[in-house]
């Protein structure tokens, strides 16, 4: 029998002994009144070896335990952090002292009542009078000095990761703050929050492969939402001029450091506005989030210094392609010409064979050659019309669209554009998408006739915005992988590892 099995057997034996003594190892509640960090902040002025008469009631998980006979020291971890608790033979009630000494293990959750004191070494502690076992841990915690070393195990057992690694918990606290600030930012500007269907008869709003499912009751194939865009635009048509959604989107695509099949997005639509105003709003939002998280203008991201000082640099898509590859897409304006140019420049990173049309080839060129080189924040504007089927053409040069993406460290954080509200142009473009879909392009969009009908009712000039919240959290919390900012990321079946 291994060491772990012995520990589990001992804990199960203790559990049975407690029950035999009439002690409930899993009681219903405990009236918590105090928390570790609040106690430390409030009583830090105590002198060494000083004890006060204030009684506190705290609860948490026992992380370590050191038994010195008549004196027991333990570290208790609660929602705010850790605090030392002390059980002393002549100060702690004998029933509580004996219970702790004999039956409490690291990992157990207990409730405590006692006085605040500062030890001779200057550590704020709680001198315990009474304890109550609130939940008996039957499995040992990971080794305290090293925690969980295997990253995959951390992701699979996030509950252990959070217990053993307070820095991980802090990431998700900051994630909550970021989402809260985004929501407040929009509501302060008059935006209304909406919920859109997750199960959809016709998916759309992005170039992505959907997840397919089936509704048995109505014998109907359905898709998980790849984007809330087309539904939010319907609400703009209905007269809600400022609308947003924060929620999940699902795309049946690769899993890597930057992609998860289920991810969180912000999308908002702003009637009577345009993409230039949305660039300004982006800078306002980034500044607000940076200040809320107490970040300087220059942040460290995975060893790189990223300068978040606004305004961000702006550059047109065509100009950046020309600068980096010497290819002028105004001249190489179709699939065959662009393919020839890529071959002549020997851009072997571009996988031409995977591209079936001009827009896909432009996207491949951009993703392989251009995007990885952009480290500092850049607004990349005016994409060719073939790249985004739902965006409005530029008034001066209709070969391009009024759009921008914010790129940082080779990653797309958001995409925004003036929304196409010409129903005839939109119908033509969705028909082109449908043809591509039938030819095997799994990321092309299907025709949505009801959406076209909504546009025919008339949608005002509108600017739309899509932000990847997971990627933004990665940047602002200095995390290398999207799995580090999603509590329960998608993982391969362990049997297939």
Banded model confidence at residue 492, pLDDT cuts 50, 70, 90: confident
> Across-strand partners of 73?
66, 86
User: Residue 329 burial (CB < 10 Å; 0-12/13-18/19+)?
Assistant: buried
Q: Could you say which DSSP state residue 326 is in?
A: -
Q: What is the mean pLDDT of the chain?
A: 95
Q: How far apart are CA 432 and CA 359, in angstroms?
A: 11
Query: Domain boundaries in the chain?
Result: 3-141, 166-312+377-490
Please state at what angle helix 166-187 crosses helix 275-292, rounded to 10 degrees: 140
CATH number given to 3-141: 2.40.50.140
Buried/exposed code over 426-450 (b: 16+ C-beta within 10 A; e: otherwise) = bbebbebbeebeeeebebbbeebee
pLDDT above 70 (res 298):
yes
Write down the pTM of the prediction.
0.93
Tokens of 260: 């998860």
For the residues 132-137, what does the mean pLDDT come to? Answer: 98
Instruction: Report pLDDT digits (tens) over 403-447.
Output: 999 999 999 999 999 999 999 999 999 999 999 999 888 899 999
Is the Cβ–Cβ distance between 432 and 417 less than 8 Å? no
Banded model confidence at residue 215, pLDDT cuts 50, 70, 90: very high
Banded model confidence at residue 146, pLDDT cuts 50, 70, 90: low
Q: Which pLDDT does position 495 carry in this prediction?
A: 67
Instruction: Report pLDDT digits (tens) over 103-132.
Output: 999 999 999 999 999 999 999 999 999 999
Share of the chain above pLDDT 70, in %: 98
pLDDT above 80 (res 150):
no
Instruction: Report pLDDT digits (tens) over 101-111.
Output: 999 999 999 99
Q: Could you say which DSSP state residue 6 is in?
A: H
- 496: Cβ contacts below 8 Å, ≥ 6 apart: none
Question: Is the peptide bond prior to 311 cis by the omega test (within 30 degrees of 0)?
Answer: yes
For the residues 40-61, what does the mean pLDDT come to? Answer: 94
For the residues 171-177, what does the mean pLDDT come to? Answer: 97
Instruction: Report pLDDT digits (tens) over 21-40.
Output: 999 999 999 999 999 999 99
**Residue 305 φ then ψ, to 5°:** -90, 115
Instruction: Report pLDDT digits (tens) over 300-354.
Output: 999 999 999 999 999 999 999 999 999 999 999 899 999 999 999 999 899 998 8
Instruction: Report pLDDT digits (tens) over 217-229.
Output: 999 999 999 999 9
For the residues 46-66, what does the mean pLDDT come to? Answer: 94
Q: Which pLDDT does position 386 carry in this prediction?
A: 93
Banded model confidence at residue 144, pLDDT cuts 50, 70, 90: low
**Residue 199 φ then ψ, to 5°:** -90, 125
For the residues 372-397, what does the mean pLDDT come to? Answer: 95
Q: How far apart are CA 237 and CA 239, in angstroms?
A: 5
Sign of torsion over alpha carbons 290, 295, 296, 299: negative
Residue 381: how many CA atoms within 13 Å on its side-chain side? 14
Tokens of 369: 């050659």
pLDDT above 60 (res 496):
no
- 8: Cβ contacts below 8 Å, ≥ 6 apart: 138, 139, 140
CATH number given to 166-312+377-490: 3.30.930.10
pLDDT above 70 (res 145):
no
Q: Which pLDDT does position 353 carry in this prediction?
A: 87
Q: How far apart are CA 187 and CA 196, in angstroms?
A: 18
């Amino acid at each position: 029998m291994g060491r772990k099995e012995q520990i589990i057997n001992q804990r199960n034996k203790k559990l049975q002994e407690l029950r035999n003594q009439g002690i409930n190892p899993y009681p219903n509640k405990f009236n918590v009144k105090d928390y570790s960090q609040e106690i430390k902040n409030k009583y830090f002025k105590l002198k060494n070896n000083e004890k006060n008469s204030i009684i506190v009631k705290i609860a948490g998980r026992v992380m370590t335990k050191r038994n010195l006979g008549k004196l027991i020291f333990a570290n208790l971890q609660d929602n705010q952090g850790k605090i030392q608790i002390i059980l002393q033979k002549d100060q702690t009630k004998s029933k509580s002292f004996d219970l702790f000494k004999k039956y409490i293990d690291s990992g157990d959750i207990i409730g405590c009542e006692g006085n605040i004191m500062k030890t001779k070494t200057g550590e704020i502690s709680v001198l315990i009078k009474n304890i109550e076992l609130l939940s008996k841990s039957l499995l040992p915690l990971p080794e305290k000095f090293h925690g969980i070393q295997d990253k995959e195990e951390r992701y699979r057992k996030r509950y252990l990761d959070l217990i053993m690694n307070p820095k991980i918990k802090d990431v998700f606290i900051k994630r909550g703050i970021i989402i809260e600030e985004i929501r407040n930012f929009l509501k302060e500007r008059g935006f209304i929050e909406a919920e859109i269907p997750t199960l959809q008869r016709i998916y759309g709003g992005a170039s992505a492969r959907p997840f397919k499912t089936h509704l048995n009751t109505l014998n109907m194939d359905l898709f998980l939402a790849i984007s809330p865009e087309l539904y939010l635009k319907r609400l703009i048509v209905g007269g809600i001029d400022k609308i947003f959604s924060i929620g999940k989107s699902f795309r049946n695509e690769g899993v890597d450091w930057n992609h998860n099949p289920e991810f969180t997005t912000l999308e908002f639509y702003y009637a009577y506005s345009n993409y230039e105003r949305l660039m300004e709003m982006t800078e306002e939002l980034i500044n607000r989030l940076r200040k809320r998280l107490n970040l300087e203008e220059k942040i460290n991201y995975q060893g790189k210094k990223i300068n978040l000082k606004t305004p961000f640099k702006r550059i047109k898509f065509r100009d950046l392609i020309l600068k980096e590859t010497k290819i002028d897409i105004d001249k190489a304006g179709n699939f065959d010409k662009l393919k020839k140019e890529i071959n002549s420049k020997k851009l072997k990173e571009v996988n031409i064979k995977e591209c079936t049309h001009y827009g896909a080839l432009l996207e491949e060129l951009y993703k392989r050659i251009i995007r990885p080189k952009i480290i500092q924040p850049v607004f990349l504007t005016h994409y060719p019309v073939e790249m985004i089927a739902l965006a409005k053409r530029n008034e001066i040069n209709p070969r391009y669209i009024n759009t921008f993406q914010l790129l940082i460290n080779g990653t797309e954080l958001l995409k925004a554009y003036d929304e196409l509200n010409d129903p005839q142009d939109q119908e033509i473009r969705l028909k082109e998408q449908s043809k591509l879909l039938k030819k095997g392009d799994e990321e092309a969009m299907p025709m949505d006739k009801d959406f076209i009908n909504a546009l025919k009712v008339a949608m005002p000039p509108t600017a739309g915005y899509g932000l990847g919240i997971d990627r933004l959290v990665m940047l602002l919390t200095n995390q290398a992988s999207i799995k580090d900012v999603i509590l329960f990321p998608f993982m391969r079946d362990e049997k297939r590892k």
